[in-house]
Structure 1
Amino acid sequence: MAQPNNSSKDLRPIFVFDTMRARSHLFFRYLSTSPELKAVYHPILMAAFLGPERWAQHSRNSSARTKELMEDMLPFIGEETYESEQKRFLADVEGARKEGKIAFANEHIFNVLKQPIVHGMNRDPTYSLTALGPNPTYIPDPIFAALRPMILIRHPVPHINSTYRSVIDIGMQIRTGDEDLDILVSHRYFRYLFDMFRAQGRQPVVVDSEDLLWRTGEVTERICEELGVDREGLRETWTPTPEEERPTHPILAPFTITIHASKGIERPEKPDDKDLGRAYEKWVERYGKESADHLKHLVEENMPHYEYLSQFKV
């Protein structure tokens, strides 16, 4: 079979730095409908979240969360390491290139940044990053040097509200006061990466997850223009993932069940959910004043980073 002619096509990988509860699965699924892209779904996840080197075991958490991480989750921890996932990622990118396609990958920001950075930045606003070299992530150096970055953000009020509700609903022991929660909702990591890429002469494509639903056409046009992808190849509907292809891991499956069952982009009535005062009242009623105060603090802490990044969104 003749090899595709890629001489005039930009096959540099595209990498989306995203976070949980920011419609990251929907965004990735939507762009993956392009026939020009080869999806590489969460290439670091199994090492960062469910491997022996998982970052959360170094967090400062409550005794309940620590027990969950160090005892309750042990039967579900795999053998994947950052090194083994990097090797697989390199092979996936090379495989996409041989097919004449662009490797299109995504990962939650806290899973892809190196663990000392994740905790160092969270604990110390003056934490120095200058000694960590040109690649602060677990993405293999050759891929990191070539990738075209995208950053997916979400307004802190609905983002923090959704994140906290979801970890409780699925039975995780993360609560206000646990360092893990602060890390899961941080937009500071995004801002750091954004500024770092710009300093390298690489302008990240910033997308607000709200716009994926209510400015779809305009945002899609801009994304395709920035990345050189044909807009006509994208589809807003798709076939649900067959049952046999869905994740079966008991910890991972609850996070992905909705997107694997989805048939496309659905647009409910646009919610009015960005008012911190109203959100705070609901948090007090649902979680108590102490937890509500901490959630409010997290919103106020992350708003400057979100607003900064919003200036550059497509």
Structure 2
Amino acid sequence: MASGPQTSKRIFLVDAPRTYSQVFNKLFLAHPDLGHIFHPMICAMYGRERVGLNLKHCEAAEEAGKALSLKTGMTESLEEAAKRMEKYILQIEEQCKIPWIKDHTCCHIRRDIAISVAKSPTYPDLDLRSSHNPTVFSDELFNTFTPVILIRHPILIIRSCYRTQASVFHLEAHGEDFKLMTTLQYSKMWFDAKRGDGQVPIVVDAEDVVHNTEATISLLCSHLGIDANGAQYTWDPAPREEWPDDPIMQGFFVDMLNSSSVKRGKQAVQNALDIDNELDMWKVEFGGDVAAVLKKRVEEEMPVYNFLKGFKVDIKAQ
């Protein structure tokens, strides 16, 4: 894609569902130098080319996907959604602002890759890296993006996704669509492709956003070359009448809609995470069979999480 009045970069927030991405995005929502494009590919994710058509799941999950597509009018093709996003990018650059694009990887990853990963019974070798563009975007467009890869501990991703979305999407812990939504492998493919092109991809751990918010955001802004003073750390909760009617959207956004700042506990959650302790709690909450499958999913995701974590923006190293 040819560019308009070229700004220095096009920032792409690369994340998976339940990585604290909505609150993270909120921190930059009022930045005067940024123009925001929010989930540009989601209409195609649930549209007529939705990847779920090629994944194994129960009949109830299939019906839930159809109902969402019909209710929300999500009918775009991947090509249509990508072209619309390109149009928005040019409009933002014409205003001399930097595009800030936020999208879940499961919405824009190439469909053959998405299906292959979701159906794979084993985790791929982390040493098998690819420098190829893993997205549905053209190589020309993909090459213009500066990614910010947001990661979170797999226990937190998988627990949150199953707890908030299983009943709405009728997800099964062993289902291929649940793996599609909870894997960090697509984020690593972004990392590999950009590193293969000579970039040093920026990785941010959600726990640092929660427990070292201002220091982490300030350092990230320095890496991106944008003014840290443009970030916001407090805001007004959304009035109830402005909440989405759709229970699916409420499930994804309720924490952010209720929030007025970043919520944090007394200590970093990650310091207390233990999969065996989680398993005991999951057995009580979800039942033994589901708990065992969720534990297996966590164990599958830990290698890629630990790999990406090794490259994270680290305030302690400064």
TM range (shorter): 0.7 to 0.9
Q: Which residue of the other structure, out of 4, 20, 23, is the alignment partner of 1:23?
A: 20
Alpha-carbon spacing, 1:254–1:140, altered in 2? closer, same or farther (3 Å): farther
Tell me how far apart the structure 1 counterparts of residues 10 and 242 of structure 2 sit (CA, whole Å): 24
Q: Which residue of the other structure, out of 134, 150, 159, is the alignment partner of 2:157?
A: 159
The reply to whether residue 97 of structure 1 matches residue 93 of structure 2 is: yes
How far is 1:243 from its partner? Answer: 6.7
Counterparts of 1:1-314 in structure 2, within 5 Å, are: 10=8, 12-49=9-46, 51-70=47-66, 72-73=67-68, 75-76=70-71, 77-124=73-120, 134-168=132-166, 171-241=168-238, 247-249=244-246, 251-270=248-267, 271=269, 273-314=272-313
Is the contact between residue 165 and residue 171 of structure 2 (CA under 8 Å) also seen in structure 1?
yes
TM-score normalised by length of structure 2: 0.86
Q: Name which of structure 1's ranges 298-307 and 259-268 shifts more when overlaid on structure 2.
A: 259-268
How far is 1:69 from its partner? Answer: 3.0
How far is 1:206 from its partner? Answer: 0.3
Q: Secondary structure at the match of 1:212?
A: helix
TM-score normalised by length of structure 1: 0.87
Is the contact between residue 33 and residue 97 of structure 2 (CA under 8 Å) also seen in structure 1?
yes
Superposed CA RMSD: 2.5
Unpaired segments ≥5 residues, structure 2? 314-318
Q: Name which of structure 1's ranges 17-26 and 254-263 shifts more when overlaid on structure 2.
A: 254-263
Deviations 1:202-257 (A, max 9, x none): 22110011110111132112211111001112120123456776545554344224
Is the contact between residue 86 and residue 139 of structure 1 (CA under 8 Å) also seen in structure 2?
yes
Amino acid at match of 1:278: N
Tell me how far apart the structure 2 counterparts of residues 46 and 189 of structure 1 sit (CA, whole Å): 19
Alpha-carbon spacing, 1:216–1:133, altered in 2? closer, same or farther (3 Å): closer
Is the contact between residue 118 and residue 177 of structure 2 (CA under 8 Å) also seen in structure 1?
no
Is the contact between residue 44 and residue 111 of structure 1 (CA under 8 Å) also seen in structure 2?
yes
Q: Secondary structure at the match of 1:194?
A: helix
Aligned to 1:3: none
- The sequence identity of aligned pairs, in percent, is 29
Q: Name which of structure 1's ranges 290-299 and 72-81 shifts more when overlaid on structure 2.
A: 72-81
How far is 1:112 from its partner? Answer: 1.3
Alpha-carbon spacing, 1:57–1:273, altered in 2? closer, same or farther (3 Å): farther
Amino acid at match of 1:296: K
Deviations 1:72-129 (A, max 9, x none): 44532532221221122111111111111101011111111011111112334569xx
Tell me how far apart the structure 1 counterparts of residues 243 and 139 of structure 2 sit (CA, whole Å): 30
Is the contact between residue 57 and residue 69 of structure 1 (CA under 8 Å) also seen in structure 2?
no
Tell me how far apart the structure 1 counterparts of residues 68 and 92 of structure 2 sit (CA, whole Å): 34
Q: Name which of structure 1's ranges 77-86 and 108-117 shifts more when overlaid on structure 2.
A: 77-86
Q: Secondary structure at the match of 1:31?
A: coil
Q: Secondary structure at the match of 2:143?
A: helix
Deviations 1:10-43 (A, max 9, x none): 1x21001101111100011112232111111111
Q: Name which of structure 1's ranges 29-38 and 301-310 shifts more when overlaid on structure 2.
A: 29-38
Alpha-carbon spacing, 1:63–1:212, altered in 2? closer, same or farther (3 Å): same
Unpaired segments ≥5 residues, structure 1? 1-5
Alpha-carbon spacing, 1:292–1:243, altered in 2? closer, same or farther (3 Å): closer
Detail structure 1 runs of 4+ shifted over 6 Å in the superposition.
242-245
Count of aligned residue pairs for this structure pair? 301
Is the contact between residue 90 and residue 140 of structure 1 (CA under 8 Å) also seen in structure 2?
no
